[in-house]
Structure 1
Amino acid sequence: MNYLGHAFLSFGNSEILVGNMIGDHVKGRLALQHYPDGIRKGIELHRKIDEFTDNHPSVSRAKLIFREDYGLYAGAITDTVFDHFLANDPKYFASPDALLQFTRQTYTQIEEHSTHLPPDFAAYFPHMREYNWLLGYRSMKGVERSLQGLARRAKHMPASDKAYTAFVMGYYHLNQCYFELIDDVVKMAKAYTL
């Protein structure tokens, strides 16, 4: 799961949300001691989500679509396209407006804890909010932009055009893989947070 997935799997708890969103920017166990308990729990949840999804059979099958052209970046690409399926999942977001409201609430909660944002996340958070990256996952064009952004930020990832084409061509297979994952990861995250 990418940004939308991590936000969603925080279940409205603002400190867990912040930790979950910044999880990729906090390295090692020692760094955790600099955060309040709730944010630390969110960072740990982020790591558990990543570990759980990386080892889920449906994610392994989905990554195969991207592995030949993108190698180790297949996982990050899969995370991105799974956010598209989450954004369009009527079980969790009944309408585009429901997703929009969720994204606004998410940005507000992150802003309320801005003093705890790592510098690199803090640097691009205003751009994320202004262009509503979380809502962008809902559209095909938004996925294309997200993949382009991933390629810009990743040091050695090739251009994202083949990843987008593979996403379009493998859409139904990837959607099935998402559906095989989502209830399992929701159950795991709820057990950890509640």
Structure 2
Amino acid sequence: MIADFVKGKQLLQYPPDVQQGVRLHRAIDAYTDHHPATARAKNCLKPAVGAYSAVYTDIIYDHFLANDPEHFTAQSLETFAGGIYETLAAHHDQLPPVFQQVFSYMRQHNWLLHYRERNGIASSFNGITRRAKYQQVPATVPFKAFEDHYDTLKDCYAQFFPDLLRYVKSYLEAPGGAEPSF
């Protein structure tokens, strides 16, 4: 959860299990960015959002994961989200300051649960367009691309996610791999 907010040598300020979690997150990001299904998904979005297609693809994958019956039911996703929020709250003082602010909003609006709903995705897209420095399109533009290419994007997720699970398993089984605590 905090990997995008931990820069450079700041990583060394965290316990080894958190460092491993940040490294795992970064490895997942790199793997995701280079997967052929992700390239296909980004191509669906590039006409609408250009270089920001990777950011939107990550959120779209979260939507499909939240709706993937092999991994979550509505109830199990709610329980999972609650557990994540509790864990983060228990370590609040250790979180990067910018993430502390993001976390407050994330928890208040239950982002993890709302990824399941299309209006939750629309809300996430609104947040991206508000914060994006170099993107000057309203959130309705990427959301329309999401809606127009929904089946293709869902297919990209279905091709990608089993490969990601295998990748993460092998990453964690590698020497020095340890499951992160948050």
Q: What amino acid is the match of 2:79?
A: Q
Q: Which residue of 1 aligns with 2:62?
A: 83
Distance in 1 between the 2:130 and 2:24 partners? 27
Is 2:113 the partner of 1:100?
no
Q: Which runs of 5+ in 2 are unaligned?
A: 174-182
Aligned match of 1:43 = 22
Q: State the percentage of identical aligned residues.
A: 40
Q: Does 1:27 align with 2:19?
A: no
The answer to whether residue 40 in structure 2 is matched with residue 61 in structure 1 is: yes
User: Secondary structure of 2:2's match?
Assistant: helix
Q: Counterparts in 2 of 1:1-194, with a 5 A limit?
A: 21-28=1-8, 30-93=9-72, 95-157=73-135, 158-194=137-173
TM-score for the superposition, normalised by structure 2: 0.91
Please give the TM-score of this superposition, normalised by the length of structure 1.
0.86
Q: Which runs of 5+ in 1 are unaligned?
A: 1-20
Determine which structure has greater relative contact order: mean sequence separation of CA pairs < 8 Å that are 6+ residues apart, divided by chain length: 2
- How many residue pairs get matched? 172
What is the CA–CA distance in structure 1 between the aligned matches of 2:60 and 2:168, rounded to whole Å? Answer: 20
Aligned Cα RMSD in Å?
Answer: 1.0
Report the AA paired with residue 54 of structure 2.
Answer: G
Q: Greater CA radius of gyration, 1 or 2?
A: 2
Structure 2 CA distance for aligned equivalents of residues 36 and 121 of structure 1: 17
